[in-house]
Amino acid sequence: MRERFDIVVSGGGIAGLSAAAAFGSQGYSVLCVDPAPPVMAEADPASDLRTTAFLQPSVDVLTLAGLWERFEAHATPLQVMRIVDAGGEQPEPRVSHDFDASDISDQPFGWNLPNWLLRRECVARLEELANVTFRPGIGTRRLTTRESAAIVGLSDGTSIEARLLVAADGRNSPMRQALGIGVRTTRFGQKALAFAVTHPVPHGNVSTEIHRSGGPFTFVPLPDRDGKPCSAIVWMETGPEAARLAALPEAAFEREMNRRSCGMFGQLKLASRRTIWPIISQIADRFHGQRTALMAEAAHVVPPIGAQGLNMSLADLTALTRLMTPDNLGEAAPLAAYTRQRYPDVALRVAGVGMLNRASMIAAQPLRDARAAALNAMYSAAPVRRTLMQLGIGVR
């Protein structure tokens, strides 16, 4: 017997769970599946120790989904984004500028939360919605589409019929591949180390991005831990160097990270295990197929710079919830409109973040000097500074 839902969400990451919560909160019957059960405890060896900063425009769709009230109690506000160039002969700050949200808004740039906690709160929200079914440990295997429905075959052998399939199943999306939608991928030869640290100097809700070579070393504010200021770190390096760092004994790794942090917050102490992630950028040729919408990493991937990744995914979700109605759910016209709305903005951000990433990787001293001069010039022109901040967080 084939089960029927209004919407099937393929993917149980933060974006897929948020999509299930948003459409479920609008009254649709929703099935969300993911082959890997979500890890919802920080101490779990498989937990995602990265953090996510939700920028201002994402709050509306999270509120629609019934998620923001859950997230807000755990969130650390990001009032200032500090860009530091440490590209001189010695690893020490030589240019530092603050981008303050008060220049463009009465709200912070965004709010930061650990990814494992976001998954926990998303799953708890789905449990409140009687019209949403979440089946972790089950993935999507087959897809057949027709004008009236998408027929989705699951890994447990069951078959599901839905008016709309939302593919939020990652950068190697099996549903995107089933539709024959191609992607353009850029590889930077980088990996990112993600971990948490404590430090003696308070972060003051400032996100600090330190540029030297190999990629940025970024402090993202977290709540205090064991009575000490705490930050999440994303440290981007060339692949071989990241692998070397990840394999170091803890004491040797701490020496390396304290050198790379340029002493910005005093002596850093590792407060979690280290995880390592590949860095690419990617964009799908289009964001829809018959009865299917691609969102999140199934549609686009960017390096972790400027908190763009998940906020782009939530902009996808915002567009889908506005374009889809009970009368036109999954039909060709709103799906084509979805690609038209989202593709130009996504393409611009994929290109822009890619350029920033390449600038952060620069090793040659003359080019590092030019980067520092460009940062000074950008900050000194107030209209340029405000425009960049507005573009970055997606407000006008």
Strand partners, 133: 31
Q: How far apart are CA 222 and CA 338, in angstroms?
A: 35
What is the model's pLDDT at position 212? Answer: 84
Contact in structure between 220 and 115 (CB atoms under 8 Å): no
What single-letter amino acid sits at 84?
V
What is the model's pLDDT at position 95? Answer: 77
pLDDT tens for each residue of the chain, 396 residues long = 799 999 999 999 999 999 999 999 999 999 999 999 888 888 888 888 788 889 888 999 999 999 999 999 999 888 888 888 887 787 788 877 787 887 777 888 889 999 999 999 999 999 999 999 999 999 999 999 999 999 999 999 999 999 999 999 999 999 999 999 999 999 999 999 999 999 999 998 889 989 888 889 999 988 898 899 999 999 999 999 999 999 999 999 999 999 999 999 999 999 998 999 999 999 999 999 999 999 999 999 999 887 788 999 999 999 999 999 999 999 999 999 999 999 999 999 999 888 888 877 777 787 777 776 776 666 666 665 566 656 665 655
What is the model's pLDDT at position 356? Answer: 82
Which structure tokens are listed for 128? 């409140």
Q: How far apart are CA 368 and CA 376, in angstroms?
A: 13
What is the model's pLDDT at position 393? Answer: 57
For the chain, the distance separating the N- and C-terminal CA atoms, rounded to the nearest angstrom, is 50
DSSP three-state, residue 355: helix
- Nearest one of 197, 191, 65 to 122, comparing CA atoms: 65
What is the model's pLDDT at position 83? Answer: 86
Which structure tokens are listed for 172? 């190697």
The helix (H) or strand (E) run that includes residue 250 is helix 250-260
- Nearest one of 61, 1, 2, 6 to 328, comparing CA atoms: 6
Q: How far apart are CA 100 and CA 306, in angstroms?
A: 14
Q: How far apart are CA 3 and CA 15, in angstroms?
A: 24
What is the model's pLDDT at position 373? Answer: 73
Q: What is the DSSP letter of 298?
A: G
